[in-house]
Amino acid sequence: MKVAVVGATGMVGKVMLEVLQERNFPVTQIIPVASESSIGKTVLFKGQKEKIVGIDVALYNKPSIAIFSAGASTSLKWAPQFEEMGTTVVDNSSAWRMHDTVPLVVPEINADILTKDDKIIANPNCSTIQMVMALAPLHKKFKMKRLVISTYQSVTGTGKDAVAQLRNERSRLEGDMVYPYNIDLNCLPHCDVFLDNDYTKEEMKLVFETRKILQDDSIGVTATAVRVPVIGGHSETVNVEFENEFEMGEVRRLLTEMPGVVLMDNVKNNIYPMPFYQQGKDEVFVGRLRRDESQPKTLNMWIVSDNLRKGAATNAVQIAEYLLKKGLVEA
């Protein structure tokens, strides 16, 4: 099976290569794709040096699957061309997520919507993926009415230049500024660009993508997304109001039984998720479960996950695994 990774030298692309190896995805030929400045260089895959090629060369090779993580403009231009060649594209950018005909997939939740005709499949935003993983079983049981979300997002979500800015500031070195202000010893209530409604694009992704994945436009969603000086992963507080009453024991049971979710909630022993410890792991970790004492049928949650793995690369590879398992893509 030929597999192209478009954006192979980026933070997410590198993790995609790692995850494909770790999960023993049946790759017979890996086709790493990057920008012109990287063509001819090599990446390591399964102990072998693989030469980086341009996207036109990857297209010519007709891969079975192409996993994109190279930005929306690249995906909008090239994904349809791969589709025409019969390649199934799993796209990690925001380009296709809200297209009516493009499925937006978290495999543990809604992979069953995929068909052989789906040649472009959207990977949700990192902060959305980890949240809906924890919320999906609760929504199915109690029906969510409204979500109030605050995110604490790693600089890795912006990219390697943002990580460099943080490290430069921490070492008191001069360097390029990705953010409009220092990120070290600071919090920026500014993830992505501001829109006409004064929310950021990142905040509105949480609104629209959550409703699409859970197939329920009636859910009220409001969010504040904050960039924090963290490298390990994204954290979120979620206040969820349900239509129906719930018992805490049932909430814990549902979360424990949800594939890909790990419940870490023992405050008496200071056990709760933190990005420092969840970095490099594929699961979504949930803790600090407690009733909202200010109104009925409302729950508070703390959700942490590595945004480069389950929030991006791992989710994309899981989609590819599902396609292969169900015979929706051929080698």
Active site residues: 126, 234
Contact 122, 102 (CB under 8 A): yes
Residue 270 contacts by C-beta under 8 Å, 6 or more apart in sequence?
none
Q: What is the 3-state secondary structure (H, E, C) of 249-309?
A: HHHHHHHHHCCCEEECCEHHHCECCCHHHHCCCCCEEEEEEEECCCCCCEEEEEEEECCCH
Whole-angstrom CA distances from 241 to 80, 152, 209, 304, 315 are 40, 21, 18, 20, 27
- Residue 71's SS3 state is coil
Distance (Å, rounded) from C-alpha 60 to C-alpha 249? 55
Distance (Å, rounded) from C-alpha 250 to C-alpha 67? 37
- Residue 310's SS3 state is helix
Distance (Å, rounded) from C-alpha 118 to C-alpha 101? 9
Q: What is the 3-state secondary structure (H, E, C) of 140-194?
A: HHHCEEEEEEEEEECHHHCCHHHHHHHHHHHCCCCCCCCCCCCCCCCCECCCCCE
Distance (Å, rounded) from C-alpha 206 to C-alpha 225? 9
Q: What is the dihedral of CA 182, 183, 184, 185, to 10 degrees?
A: 90
